[in-house]
Amino acid sequence: MKRTIGVCYYPEHWSEDRWETDARMMAETGITWVRIGEFAWSRIEPVEGEFHWDWLDRAIETLGKAGLKVVLGTPTATPPRWMIDRHPDMLAVDAQGRPRKFGSRRHYCFSHHGYRDESRRITRALAERYGKNPIVAAWQTDNEYDCHDTVLSYSDAARAGFRDWLAQRYQSPDALNRAWGNVFWSMEYTGFDQIDLPNLTVTEPNHPHVLAFKRYSSDQVVDFNRIQVDEIRKHSKAPIAHNYMGKITSFDHWKVGRDLDIASWDSYPLGFLIDRVDTTDDRRRAFLRQGDPDFQAFHHDLYRGVGKKGRWWVMEQQPGPVNWAPWNVAPLPGMTRLWAWEAFAHGAECVSYFRWRQAPFAQEQMHSGLLRPDNAPAPALEAAATVARELRDLPDADAGTSPVAIVFDYDSAWAWEAQPQGRDFGHFEAVFAAYRACRALGLNIDIIPPDTADLSAYGLVLVPAVFSLTDPLRAALASYRGIALLGPRTDVKTDELSVRLPLGPDVEGLDVSVVASESLPPEDVVRLAGKGKFRRWFDHLEGSAPVHLMTESGAPAIMGTDHLRYLAGWPTDKTFARIIGGLCDAAGIETTPMPDGLRVRTTSTHRFVLNYAPVARKWHGVRIPAAGVHWEAL
């Protein structure tokens, strides 16, 4: 697989007489790909039905002439102002019932069929015009689905769509009442048109009601995306990507990914650290200018899984300070190179910096680029050029294999949002805790979907906090010959978010039941026999399976067979690494406990060692400076 670097570019933001210089400089930097177009609707179609292609033709031509390839984005994340007059009710409505206004971006409701038609229309127009253009060598649909929490919309269109979706799913109100347990508080319906969206209830709405609305909303994203894919495919053979964001769980990326050719994501390590990573204040301070040492890697592995045949990119790579976190610092020198190499070490085809030149205007004017707004090089330009040079010196390689897999399941994210039971309980957080533990042991990891039917490639499979196993995964686990660690809180619910009866988990060969559960406040832990601690969650287990680990008070902490084990609690980071380490030993998987801040990943040809620490670290005698990258051939 060929590795490349790219950049995001907005010709419409700049004077046309600058385009050629920009293109030349990009080529000189070693850039292969240039993403354009995804916010340009008001310039492509300034008035309804009146298309201005000329400037875009010339921009693409200019880039092509410099030897660059274009990723062309559909501009549907930014419908122009005139469209609001045409479809006043296309605006999303928030959970408080307020329609959101025009004036920023992503101001549309996925359920609005009028806007879907507009989206299809502009996509078709772009595909017709550029589908055969050899410079346009890839496509991007829309931009960052759900950014700014835009998947859930409480609009009239969503309500109407939800009712149809429910009618299709349940066929009768009685079936829905039974599935949801609506008898509980006389919440029974006699017609689908009685069902409202689950916001603004007096106390919490019924959990399956919430889960259904989240499933419905995710399906709207899948549909919305597929309409664009279908239009593009009619006219172009170039691969199609979408750029996902970090820690977005509001729609099923696995499903969207199946309609695309490439998964890509937008990686902003410093903004994410301060805003989205589940970590301690101490670690937030220690990694302030480097980003969390596992958060990027997790998404790399996730999106490698989401990408068809493992094809994935970083579509936007942070180049310097951003504008959107509560505070925005500059990366430690070296990090913009390290982040790129980490992506390649995880199998990325392309790392594309966002953006070519810092815009001096509008909302992101404090977001740095490879160039400063005055055209002088920003620090990341040299880093990008360095990476490009280094890429030329390394052989092509693929992502390599992983001995460990972790199941990641969007439905579980929704289920536990509807029913957290503990304020800090979430599926993403539970999976990420497992991921951290594996990373601390130097392991390659695959993130796999919840309907995985074949686990035979892995020696160890982790299934944390999956509310309800799918049939394929349940079957795969029953016959699995490696070691699978389920839990905590795995397969304790039905697919409709009721308590599974008989009490779960329900995997053939594993006689363990969760008979009660506790969510633990931050000041409380469950101590394990010997050493170690659970926090946040503790399942009370019963069953005939052997107990492998006990709590200090004698309750089972891990129970199960040689192949199937159930983990009763949410371990602290150290405890989790110790548990995983033991399972790896049992499974014959080699582990390498990593010094703090140092992370490793192994491709098909090399081992890459990355230093996220703010100080130099030693690795097998090699000194790796802060923000340093070291690689060695296998």
97-116 residues in contact with its own copies (CB under 8 A) are 97-107
Query: How far, in Å, CA of 158 to CA of 151, rounded?
Result: 11
What is the CA 591 to chain-centroid distance, rounded? 26
Full DSSP string of 337-366: HHHHHHHHHTT-SEEEES-SB--SSSTTTT
Q: State yes or no: residue 329 binds its own copies (CB under 8 A).
A: yes
158 touching its own copies, by CB under 8 A: no
Under the criterion CB under 8 A, does residue 285 sit at the interface with its own copies? yes
- Cβ proximity to its own copies: between 174 and 396 the closer is 174
Q: Which is nearer to its own copies, 274 or 580 (CB)?
A: 274
In sequence order, what are the beta bridge partners of 145?
A: none
Which among 201-209, 294-302, 430-438, 557-565 is the span making contact with its own copies, rule CB under 8 A? 201-209
Catalytic annotation present for 316:
yes
| Tokens standing for residue 180 | 């949801």
* DSSP state letters, 529-572: SSS-EEEEEEEEEESSSPEEEEBTTS-EEEEE-SSEEEE-EEE-
Instruction: Quote the DSSP letter at residue 284.
Output: H
CA separation for the pair 567, 538 (Å, rounded): 9
Residue 424 Cβ, how far from its own copies at the closest point, in Å? 8
By CB under 8 A, tell whether 364 contacts its own copies: yes
70 vs 92: CA distance, rounded Å: 31
Angle (nearest 5°) at CA 496 between 170 and 213:
70
Which of 66, 70, 92, 559 is in the footprint of its own copies by CB under 8 A? Answer: 92
Please report whether residue 150 would count as binding its own copies according to CB under 8 A: yes
Residues 9-48 that bind its own copies (CB under 8 A): 12-13, 39-43, 46-47
Query: Strand 606-611 relative to strand 598-602: parallel, antiparallel, unpaired?
Result: antiparallel
Q: Which span (113-121, 356-364, 404-412, 585-593) binds its own copies, by CB under 8 A?
A: 356-364
User: If binding is defined by CB under 8 A, does position 79 make contact with its own copies?
Assistant: yes
Judged by CB under 8 A, does residue 423 bind its own copies?
A: yes
Q: Is 203 in the site for its own copies (CB under 8 A)?
A: yes
170-199 residues near its own copies, rule: CB under 8 A:
180-190, 194, 196, 198-199
CA distance 480 to 494: 22
Using CB under 8 A as the binding rule, whether residue 533 contacts its own copies is answered as no
**586 CB burial (10 A radius; 0-12, 13-18, 19+):** middle
Question: Running DSSP on this structure, what letter comes out for residue 519?
Answer: E
Window 470-499: residues binding its own copies (CB under 8 A): 498-499
Residue 294 in contact with residue 435, Cβ under 8 Å?
A: yes
CA distances from 324 to 148, 321, 364 (A): 11, 9, 8
In the stretch 433-472, what mask flags binding to its own copies with x, by CB under 8 A?
----------------------------------------
- Which of 38, 118, 144, 349 is catalytic? The answer is 144
| Whether 552 is catalytic | no
If one asks whether residue 544 binds its own copies (CB under 8 A), the answer comes out as no
Give 520 or 541: the residue with its C-beta nearer to its own copies: 520
Complex with its own copies: residue 358 or 470, whichever CB lies closer: 358
Q: Is 168 in the site for its own copies (CB under 8 A)?
A: no
Residues belonging to the active site: 144, 316
